[in-house]
Amino acid sequence: MVNDRPFEEIQVGDRASFTKTISEADIYGFAGITGDFNPVHVNEEYAKQSRFKKRIAHGMLTASFISTVLGTDLPGANTIYMSQEVKFTAPVYIGDTLTAEAEVVEKREDKRILTLKTTVVNQDGKTVVDGQAKAMKM
């Protein structure tokens, strides 16, 4: 379901989230779409020798869930995703359950632009992605 929140009803402090468990299929699907077959994502034997000791999800896969929040819930339909600052703070493994959250921290009425604090946390509450987005509500 996609929400279509009217810009006038969105307030500083409003939040929305999206939760998903990372599967092996997600990693292979993302690799296939983007062409990023870095062995730390797709080769278990290679990943065992890495600092992570097992395969990790692509950082941009985990960050992409922020787009899900913005495009389907807050602000929702008719949103133009203008920018995203991203800092990857911890690895994500197959089986991790991630929750992406966006919180409105600034509302610019004249241009209908929202600034949102964006985070992705794992099932243990550890932040794996931290950042800030700007979105225009049409």
- CA-based nearest residue to 112, from 82, 78, 136: 136
Alpha helices in 1-132 (DSSP H): 24-34, 39-42, 44-48, 59-72
Determine the pLDDT at residue 91: 97
- Report pLDDT digits (tens) over 97-115: 999 999 999 999 999 999 9
DSSP summary character for residue 10? -
Q: Which residue ranges in the chain fall short of pLDDT 70?
A: none
Determine the pLDDT at residue 31: 97
Q: Which two tokens stand for residue 2?
A: 């996609």
- Structural domains of the chain ordered from first start: 14-137 (3.10.129.10)
Q: What does each C-alpha distance from 16 to 3, 43, 70, 71, 104 come to in angstroms?
A: 11, 34, 8, 11, 9
CA distance 125 to 138: 33
DSSP summary character for residue 58? -
Determine the pLDDT at residue 1: 84
Determine the pLDDT at residue 47: 96
- The residue count of the chain comes to 138
